[in-house]
Copies of this chain bind each other. A is one copy, B any other.
Amino acid sequence: MGLRYELHYWPSIQGRGEFVRLAFEASDTDYTDVARGQRLPRQGMPTLLSWRDDETLLTPPFAPPVLQHGKRVIAQTAAILMYLGPRLGLVGRSEGHRLWTQQIQLTIADAVTEAHDTHHPISGSLFYEDQKAEALKRAKNFRENRLPKYLAWFEAILRRNKSNARAGRLHLVGGSMSYADLSLFQLVDGCLYAFPNAASAALRDAPLVLRLHDEFSRHKRLQAYLRSDRRIAFNEDGIFRRYPELDR
C-alpha cells in the first residue's frame, strides 16, 4: 500500500484546496481531507497551524492548501499539482507537456487571485463591507477587461490544440485530462457562480471554454463528486463570492 495523501485545507470553503480535491476526485485517488475528517488522529487545522512553529519542519507552508504525503509537506496549489500530476496520471510524460500544463496552471492561479481580489482589493484582513467601494471598481475591471482576456487565452489554447480536432472531450494539453483542465473547469464554475451575468456574457466569446466546462461537469467521476456532500457548496467565505452588486 502506498503512502496516504493528506490534504490540509479550510473545511468550510472550496477555496484553493478545491483544485487539489478535483485532482484526487477525477483520478479516483483515495485521499484524506484532513480538516473535515474525524477518523485519523492529528486531524483538523491545528496540525497545519502547528507547522508554523515547528522548527523541525524544514519546508514550512506559507498558507494552505498543504499536501502531506509521507514525509513530504508541500504548499502552493500549483506546486502540489505539479507533484501530483505524474503520480495521478494528470499530466503528460514529456517535459514539454509538463511545462506547458504548469504554465497554464500558473495563469489560472493568477486569474483566481484576481477573482478573489474583486471582493478584497485592499486587504484580506478586512471585511468585504469595509472595502466595498473599492471592490465595486476592481470587480468592474475584472468583468470588463481581465476575465475576457483570460478566457480568450484559454480559448486560443483549446483551438490550437490539434488533439481537439478529434471527436471526444476537449483538453488544454494533448489528448487526455490534465490537472489544468480540472482547474479551468473550477475557474469557470467559480466565475459562473460569482458573476453569473458577466461570466455568461464573456463565455459567449469563448465557446470552447464553455464546452470544456460542460463536458467536465458531466465527466462520470466528477459528476458523482459534484453531487456528493464532499463538494462544499460555493459560499461567501470562499474565493468566488456572489455579491450581486459586483456583477452589474
A76 contacts across to B, CB distance below 8 A: 102-103, 106-107
Q: A125 with B153: in contact, given A55-B160, A102-B79, A134-B134 (CB under 8 Å)?
A: no
Give A78-100 interface residues, CB cut-off 8 Å to B: 78-79, 82-83, 96, 99-100
A62 contacts across to B, CB distance below 8 A: 107, 150, 153
A99 contacts across to B, CB distance below 8 A: 72, 74, 79, 82-83
Q: A153 with B60: in contact, given A121-B122, A121-B138 (CB under 8 Å)?
A: yes
Q: Is the CB of B79 within 8 A of A103?
A: yes
Output the residue of A57, A76, A161 with the most chain B CB within 10 A: A76
Copies in the complex: 2
Closest beta carbon of chain B to A7's beta carbon, Å: 16
Q: Is the CB of A96 within 8 A of B123?
A: no
10 new A-B pairs (CB below 8 Å) besides A60-B157, A62-B107, A82-B102? A58-B161, A72-B96, A76-B107, A79-B106, A106-B106, A110-B113, A121-B122, A121-B138, A123-B137, A125-B145
CA distance A110 to B78 in the complex (A): 12
Q: Does A18 contact B (CB under 8 A)?
A: no
Closest beta carbon of chain B to A149's beta carbon, Å: 8
Give A49-71 interface residues, CB cut-off 8 Å to B: 55, 57-60, 62
Output the residue of A74, A122, A126, A160 with the most chain B CB within 10 A: A122
